[in-house]
Amino acid sequence: MADDLNLPKGDLMKGKKGLIMGVANHNSIAWGIASQLAAQGAELAFSYIEAMERRVKPLGESIGVKVFVPAEVTDDASMDQAFATLEKEFGTLDFVVHAIAFSDKNELRGSFVENTTRDNFLMSMNISAYSFVDVARRAEKLMPNGGSMITLTYLGSERVIPNYNVMGVAKAALEAATRYIARDLGPKKIRVNAISAGAIRTLSLAGIQDGRKMIAQGRQFSALKEDTSVEGVAGCALWLLSDLGRSTTGEVIHVDAGFHMIGLPDEAAE
């Protein structure tokens, strides 16, 4: 539960209401972010897919969440219903956390060019990239006083990471979408950013072949020589979603213990 995490308490999010999309269980990155935002006084709503309801509700309730909305991002009727419920319960929104991705795990292995089917390419793009555009358009209508939105991405968008394959292409689209949404919503004082997190042990990572190796390699080759912590990602989210982040938009921020900027690991030079 949230007690497992070392999260600073305070009032940075007091008076702010937001939607958290993507809690599946207590390992989810969205759960770490939600716990940090709650510890800083935010009022939260959780969206979830039906299959996860049994796990998500008790987690949310343990940090005071009262609004739960089913939301399947590929289904317009489900999204219409989710945002109608949010409007009824909250009236307006101050922030959104989008932590959603999916691809067929049979295609997150081996050769990208050989293994990528049209159907899974389109599904991965739909769930992992287009959904942020759709959510942003809907959430903007509930943000008359401005706001902040974040999404979660990974280095596989910028560089080739073995087995990440079509998800890397979807993350590249997600990061570009972040910039275009930030441009469109900027005049409405809505900030839009992406956090590029290092590998963290979650359900999603388990779907990638050798996902565990990604964690070990992150530890070995990162500048800090340590795992990316959920607390570190949640801290960045708190900065971006609170007024502390007021001048930052359209940005992709790496929170990966300095893995992304190493060109050649020391081991390769020995």
* Cα–Cα distance, 87 to 81 (Å, whole number): 10
- The half-sphere exposure of 265 on its side-chain side, counting CA atoms within 13 A, is 13
* Cα–Cα distance, 252 to 246 (Å, whole number): 15
Binding to ligand NAD by residue 52, rule CB under 6 A? yes
Residues 195/240, Cβ–Cβ less than 8 Å: yes
| Out of 42, 82, 136, 197, the residue judged to bind ligand NAD by CB under 6 A | 197
End-to-end alpha-carbon separation of the chain, Å? 43
Tell me the backbone φ, ψ of residue 234, rounded to 5 degrees: -65, -35
Q: How many chain residues interact with ligand NAD (CB under 6 A)?
A: 27
Site string for ligand NAD, 54-83 (x = CB under 6 A): -----------------xxxx---------
Binding to ligand NAD by residue 29, rule CB under 6 A? yes
Using the minimum distance from each CB to ligand NAD, give the nearer residue, 205 or 248.
Answer: 205
Binding to ligand NAD by residue 202, rule CB under 6 A? yes
Give ∠ CA 24-27-29 in degrees, rounded to 5. Answer: 80
Give yes or no: 154 in active site: yes
Binding to ligand NAD by residue 194, rule CB under 6 A? no
Give yes or no: 180 in active site: no
Using the minimum distance from each CB to ligand NAD, give the nearer residue, 40 or 202.
Answer: 202
Q: Please, what is the angle between helix 230-241 and helix 29-39, to 10°?
A: 50
Interface positions with ligand NAD (CB under 6 A): 22-24, 28-30, 49, 52, 71-74, 99-102, 127, 152-154, 197, 199-200, 202-205
Active site residues per annotation: 154, 164
